[in-house]
Chains A and B, each alone.
Chain A
Amino acid sequence: MTMALPKGKLGQESLQLLKRAGLPVEGVATEARQLVFTFAEEQGRYLICRPTDVPTYVEHGAADLGIVGKDTLVEAGAEVFELVDLGFGLCRFVVAAPRKRWQQAGQSFAALMAGSRRVATKFPRVARGYFQQQGMSIEIIKLHGNIELAPQVGLADLIVDIVSTGRTLKENDLVEVAAIFQATARLIANRVSYRLDYQRLAAVAEALRRAVGPEEGKSC
């Protein structure tokens, strides 16, 4: 069984959860040079990937299971099975606007949108989906980071981004004007692996589900 784990904070929390679930994690580090960790006895293997690459590894079957944020998963649009809400890594997708524009629009979302043409985001699929659902046509500008900068220099009128504490928004004089959805980390599976190796993968999913506990799993 091969599991793709994300680098970074999500990876660290994943390891803690795996440990709680009784899976082997000794010596595994998500920030080390080593990218593959093998446990011969348990016939398991972890791959350390960039978070945005986890759905790709799982979709192609290079990994049977993966841990990934729902935000990344939705944006990737990958065809994978989503098995367990792991509870951690909570963040929210929001539409945010510069405070000044929000006040000029009389704090009305409709009025704000009527005067907005462009939205900057790292998540074009999520942004497009949201505005389409709202029946609004808007130009999406794809950026790779520091989205807060775009409205300040007139590149975009609004942004769509993920926030966890809201501090970054505040520091850049942006206000949340609409919530899109909440995201937490998920256990995903390749759709062929899950069917061919059901007993093993379902057992891992069940162990993780139990390790999450009832209160954490209901984050959104």
Chain B
Amino acid sequence: MTGPCQNFQLPAGVRDLLPGEAGARRQLEQKLMDFFQSWGYREVLTPTFEFIDTFKAGSRAEAEDSLYKFIDRYGRVLALRPEMTAPIARLAATRLGHEELPLRLCYSASVFRYEEPRANRLREFNQTGVELIGARGVAADAEIIALAVESLLEAGLKDFRLGLGQVAVTMGVLHDLELPEAKVARIKAALASKDLVALERLSEDYSLNERQRSSLQLLAGLHGGSEALDEARSYFGDTEAAAFLDELGAVWQALQAYGLEKWLFIDLSILRDFDYYTGIVFEGYVPGLGVPVCGGGRYDDLLAQFGRPCPATGFALGLERLLTALGEKFSCAGKQGYLIAGDELEILLNRARQLRRQGTRVILGQPGENQQQAEARAAAQGLTLLWLESGETICRTVC
């Protein structure tokens, strides 16, 4: 606490990106956005802040605590966007309301959450993702999951897995418990945070019967490939949950046919954070990175809140986490170029323009430096020195 600037420290949860880091991030972002475009997803961008109502649609009440909120001159509450799905749903229902469905949209934007900065979690971070709006069924779910896998491959990740869950199965099982809402909420919280100790205790406290208990255990513990799915399907017989499992099975088969099976597994305990997911959900995991690198799923109820009821699915990649997972694989490319120096500025400027027009990187030398000094500077920066004197040109390759 020394003076107004506090030694120019940054607040918790935000950070600077230095030349190499910013370059790597831009390069990765561009690669992903180009890839999304090649699948027919068109880029959109919504404002950094807007009325809080947009962000409240579909998310839990507690989520409001993590919004950065402020008030405009008319006393209306605004907030910085905490994610991109709700604003894009708003866009799809309003300004893009006349466009035919399905809409394929993609984005890359900073989002803001006022949360405790913990493991790999920032208060300002980037989400790069896609939304497929107005399409339901196996084809749409399979497209989004395939795109997620291929995006991670495109980014350069080799070792990763995508876990698939189906929220509707969990909802069905919870519904069949026939418990009051508050109790269901506690069981759901235990399932979502995979607190198996609490789950067992709640089962006891609420005197659930054997069948109900084993259903919950199956939800919490089912993990594997198509065999796990078969196991669950035979267990749920012909209940409502079985139909949702069949849907997941069909998506699995489609992805298998597409050759992506080895990147995938089924885990019914994957429920994601938001309450707005209604169907198949998924998360991407990288060994050694303690948090998911991407996540998404089906959210069929959100668009109705903006007045255009229609199904939708999508996912977002965490660019910072992806960069951490990729490690040192990216570097600021394009180190070649010229250092142009000499005694007459006019000559330097004109020659530099000529070279830049050819697509070469040119850096102007320091005025007053002699040829030796310029040579040393060029060598230090890995550049080729172009020393220009009035009338004659001496070009020397330093590196």
Contacts and interface: CB of A to CB of B under 8 A. Distances in A.
Given A190-B290, A192-B290, A196-B161, A79 B118 contact: yes
Prevailing SS type, chain A contact patch? mixed
B221 A59 contact: no
A17 to B, nearest CB: 15
A76 to B, nearest CB: 10
Nearest to B284: A192
A46 B265 CA distance: 28
Given A82-B194, A202-B221, A192 B118 contact: no
B195 interface: yes
Interface in A11-57: 56
Contacts of B224: 198
A83 B116 contact: no
B163 A195 contact: yes
A81 interface: yes
B289 interface: yes
Contact of B193 (A62, A81, A202): A81
Contact of B197 (A59, A79, A83, A190): A83
Contacts of B120: 60
Interface string A183-214: 00010011111111010001000000000000
B187 to A, nearest CB: 14
A61 interface: yes
Interface string A59-102: 11110000000000000011101111100000000000000000
Contact of A82 (B119, B197, B288, B292): B197
Interface in B173-218: 193-198, 200
27 contacts: A59-B118, A59-B290, A60-B120, A61-B119, A61-B288, A61-B289, A61-B290, A62-B290, A78-B118, A79-B119, A81-B194, A81-B195, A82-B194, A82-B195, A190-B290, A191-B194, A191-B292, A192-B286, A195-B223, A195-B265, A195-B285, A196-B161, A198-B223, A198-B224, A198-B267, A202-B221, A202-B223
Interface of A: 56, 59-62, 77-79, 81-85, 186, 189-196, 198, 202
Interface of B: 116, 118-120, 161, 163, 193-198, 200, 221, 223-224, 265, 267, 270, 283, 285-292
Given A61-B289, A77-B116, A186-B197, 4 more contacts: A60-B120, A79-B193, A82-B193, A85-B200
